[in-house]
Amino acid sequence: MALFSREREEPNILNGKIPRHIAVIMDGNGRWAKQRLMPRVFGHKKGVDSLREVITACKDWGVQYLTVFAFSSENWRRPADEVTFLMGLFLQVLQSEVERMCRNNIQLKIIGNRSHFSTELLAMIADAEEKTAANTGLVLTIAADYGGHWDIVQATQQLLKAQPELISSFSEADIQPYLAMAYAPDPDLFIRTGGEQRISNFLLWQLAYTELYFTDLPWPDFGRTPLNDAIAWFQGRERRFGRISEQLDSAK
Ligand code: IPE
Ligand code: IPE
Ligand code: MG
């Protein structure tokens, strides 16, 4: 009898290199619900369960950073009732999950342009970040009202405010410390669920050399086994960063 019985045999990813940082676009909630003749928001609610499962798997497998796209700077364009629901869900999840995060030694970070959030949500974000700040395990980043364009602009603004003398000449390395994810290495693996093959203004700067994985599974159907599949796929990639294969072999 197998020690752990699973629905099907999973590739043993623990023999290979586990990505240090995984970034996820959790897409397909609305279509998942529509298929079941349910309102779109039902899919968002179900998506919270998938996120919990993915967080646990990342923790179990030694992923150090997990970054998820919860609400894009363009998602304000959605119908007002869906936006209101999503903001309410965000608040509710922060409220209900902080204790669990502390128990699991998870450090929570929220990135994005917070200027359109309610004072209640802002206070909850500050509280959740503060309560988990000293945790040393998985760093979970939730991107909310985040846009890659916004990030590059705000970083440049901060840089020029701090070092105005750089106006006529600054480098990539000068901008980097001001980007929203300056505290983390760039993602190794990007996953988008829901079938679309686009970046939708997610971490534009940071995804420059990330391995991109797309799956048709809608986010509410995603979880531990599909994540295992994505990591197994990642382990089969050769990351060359501009070099050629032979150079990588000789560096081994
Ligand atoms: C992703 O699912 C969640 C958010 C953008 C908040 P969608 O709501 O985009 O679901 P689909 O893509 O319409 O199915
Ligand atoms: C991207 O999903 C944003 C999030 C998952 C939060 P969307 O469903 O909004 O992306 P587009 O607009 O279809 O590209
Ligand atoms: Mg979508």
The answer for residues whose C-beta is within 8 angstroms of residue 171's C-beta and 6 or more apart is: none
Radius of gyration of the chain (CA): 19
Q: Is the beta carbon of 25 within 6 A of some atom in ligand 2?
A: yes
CA distance 63 to 231: 10
- Of 62, 59, 77, 52, the C-alpha closest to 18 is 62
Give Cα separations from 62 to 55, 56, 126, 162, 232 (angstroms): 11, 10, 27, 36, 14
Q: Is the pLDDT of residue 1 over 60?
A: no
**Residues 145-177: pLDDT tens digits?**
999 999 999 999 999 999 999 999 999 999 999
Ligand 2: residue whose CA is nearest its atom 7: 27
Domain 21-237: give its CATH code. 3.40.1180.10
Ligand 2 atom at shortest distance from the alpha carbon of 26: 5
Task: Name all residues whose Cβ lies below 6 A of ligand 1.
Answer: 26-31, 71, 75, 86, 194
User: At 86, is the pLDDT very low, low, confident or very high (cuts 50, 70, 90)?
Assistant: very high
Look at residue 4 in the predicted model and tell me its pLDDT: 54
% of the chain with per-residue pLDDT over 90: 94
Look at residue 246 in the predicted model and tell me its pLDDT: 95
Residue 97 parent element (H or E)? helix 80-103
Query: On the CB side of 71, how many CA atoms lie within 13 Å of its CA?
Result: 24
Q: Is the pLDDT of residue 193 over 60?
A: yes
Phi, psi of 140 (to 5 degrees): -100, 120
The mean per-residue pLDDT over the stretch 173-189 comes to 98
Q: Is the pLDDT of residue 252 over 80?
A: no
